[in-house]
Amino acid sequence: MGRSFAQIAFTPLVKEEQTKHGSRFQYERMQKLSNPGDTLTEYEREFILSRDSFYLATVSETGWPYIQHRGGEPGFLHVIDDRTLGFADYRGNRQYISLGNLEHDDRVALFLMDYPSRTRLKILGRAEIHEGASAQKWIEDLSEPKVRKLVERAIVIRVEAFDWNCQQHITPRFTEEQVVEVVAPLRERLARLEEENKRLEAKLARLSVAG
Ligand SMILES: Cc1cc2nc3c(=O)[nH]c(=O)nc-3n(C[C@H](O)[C@H](O)[C@H](O)COP(=O)(O)O)c2cc1C
């Protein structure tokens, strides 16, 4: 865990709970010894660029936490540099809940899951909304070439901290594409066996006619 993540996430009440439950000493030590952890390394970059979805948490002006799923082709969440992420915001159901929340508070939490490897990454940052004529460059840079939907705005996230979590309690799940790839050799083997079975049945039929 990077120091920046602990500085943000370990609020006074969180620290009180850690003290009450006996983990404060360990985390204080970890916090002191750790590196800042506010710049993405090649490892985070690769992980982020291979995601086809993430969850975006915002906070409303009435204090409610809110989470929305964002999805696209791998790479739709761009790593602009080691402290900056960005994605194109397409026209959707036009509820604009995340957008409204960001008007009030630019802080976001991103939750990225890789189910096959049971890995998760949490990112904390501040979101900038780029809309209108002045946002054209951002919109061009962040739009996915294959997607033919109206990009309403670009959302740029300035990363302040991140943390990886352990693999516990994550059930491995696979996309349809990943399943197709894994079962392809089995399908081929099945097809070969079916052919062989047909040939053997025909041979058997010929033998029983001859007999
Ligand atoms: C027609 C349509 C297309 C959508 N396309 C996407 C999409 O490509 N990626 C995505 O993350 N969400 C997509 N969504 C979901 C929304 O854009 C959703 O409105 C957006 O995430 C904002 O949600 P919020 O108001 O809860 O913040 C789509 C929704 C609709 C109705």
First to last CA, the chain: 77
pTM, full prediction: 0.87
Interval between CA 92 and ligand 1 midpoint (Å): 4
| Highest-confidence segment of 42-46, 88-92, 147-151 | 42-46
Tokens read off for 73: 């082709």
Residues in the chain: 211
- For 16, the 3-state DSSP assignment is helix
Q: Select from 125, 39, 29, 27 the least CA-distant residue to 81.
A: 39
pLDDT of residue 148: 81
**How is the chain split among helix, strand and coil, in percent rounded to 5?**
40, 30, 30
From 29-43, 115-129, 185-199, the region with the lowest mean pLDDT: 29-43
Using CA atoms, how far apart are residues 123 and 106, in angstroms rounded to an integer? 14
| Phi–psi pair at 107, nearest 5 degrees | -80, 135
Interval between CA 69 and ligand 1 midpoint (Å): 8
pLDDT of residue 38: 87
Would the pLDDT of 191 be above 90?
yes
Q: Per-residue pLDDT tens for 110-157?
A: 999 999 999 999 999 999 999 998 999 999 999 988 878 888 999 999
pLDDT of residue 147: 77
Q: Which amino acid is at 70?
A: R
Ligand 1, pocket residues at CB < 6 Å: 68, 70-72, 90, 92-93, 95-98
pLDDT of residue 166: 79
Contact (CB, 8 A) for 70 and 38: no
Interval between CA 93 and ligand 1 midpoint (Å): 6
Map out the domains of the chain as residue ranges: 1-36, 38-164, 174-211
Q: Which residue CA neighbors atom 16 of ligand 1 most closely?
A: 92
Ligand 1 atom showing the smallest separation from residue 71 Cα? 11
pLDDT of residue 20: 97
**Containing H/E element for 53?**
strand 53-59
CATH code at 38-164 = 2.30.110.10
Q: Which residue CA neighbors atom 13 of ligand 1 most closely?
A: 92
Mean pLDDT of 21-48: 93
What is the chain's mean pLDDT, rounded? Answer: 93
Interval between CA 70 and ligand 1 midpoint (Å): 7
Number of H helices, E strands in the chain: 7, 7
pLDDT of residue 76: 96
From 64, 68, 142, 144, the mutation candidate for ligand 1 (largest count of ligand atoms within 8 A of CB) is 68
Residue 86 exposed, middle or buried by CB count within 10 Å (0-12, 13-18, 19+): buried
Q: Per-residue pLDDT tens for 161-173?
A: 999 987 888 888 8
Interval between CA 98 and ligand 1 midpoint (Å): 11
- CA–CA distances in Å: residue 56 to residues 85, 97, 122: 13, 11, 10
Q: Which residue CA neighbors atom 2 of ligand 1 most closely?
A: 92
Interval between CA 91 and ligand 1 midpoint (Å): 7
Ligand 1 atom showing the smallest separation from residue 98 Cα? 27
